[in-house]
Amino acid sequence: MGRVIDADVIIGIERGRLGVADLVTRAGGAIAISAVTASELLVGILRSNTEERRAAREAYVEAVMATVPVLPFDASVARVHARVSAALASIGLGIGDRDLMIAATALRHGHAILTRNDREFPRVRGLIVCQPDW
C-alpha cells in the first residue's frame, strides 16, 4: 500500500531544511501527492513574503512535483469524494473541503495518508492515517 503525503508533512521537511530525497527516504515505499496538495504547495509559493523565500520555496515544490507522482482529482476520485462527503454529513461530521478531496484521492488509489492532521482525516471511514515518526 502506498501513501499519499499531506502538505503538512512536506512543509515540515522543507522547514527542517531537508531535501526532497529526505522526504522520499523518510516516507518510505510508494508515495504520491494529490493534485490538491500540489495546489496548496503552489499557493504557498505565491504567498511567500520575500523574493528569496519565494524562489527557495518554488525550487523545493517543483523538485517535489518532479520526483513524487501527482495523483489527479478526476471523475473517479470525485465519485469517492461524493460518497465520503455524504456519509460524513449523514452523521453530522465533516472535514475541510481540501482535506476531504485529499482523503478521497488516497481512498480511490488504495493508499494510506501520511499526515500530522490527526483531527480530521481519522473521521474518514476506511482511510488509513499514518503519522510521520520524525
Q: Which three cell numbers stand for residue 100?
A: 476531504
> What is the model's pTM?
0.92
Q: How far is CA 111 from the centre of its chain?
A: 11
Over the stretch 54-109, which tens digit does the pLDDT of each residue have?
999 999 999 999 999 999 999 999 999 999 999 999 999 999 999 999 999 999 99
Residue 16 scores a pLDDT above 90: no
The full set of domains in the chain, from first to last, is 3-130 (3.40.50.1010)
Interior CA angle at 132 toward 126 and 92, to 5°? Answer: 35
DSSP 4-23: EEPHHHHHHHHHTT--HHHH
The residue among 35, 26, 39, 33 whose CA lies nearest residue 5 is: 33
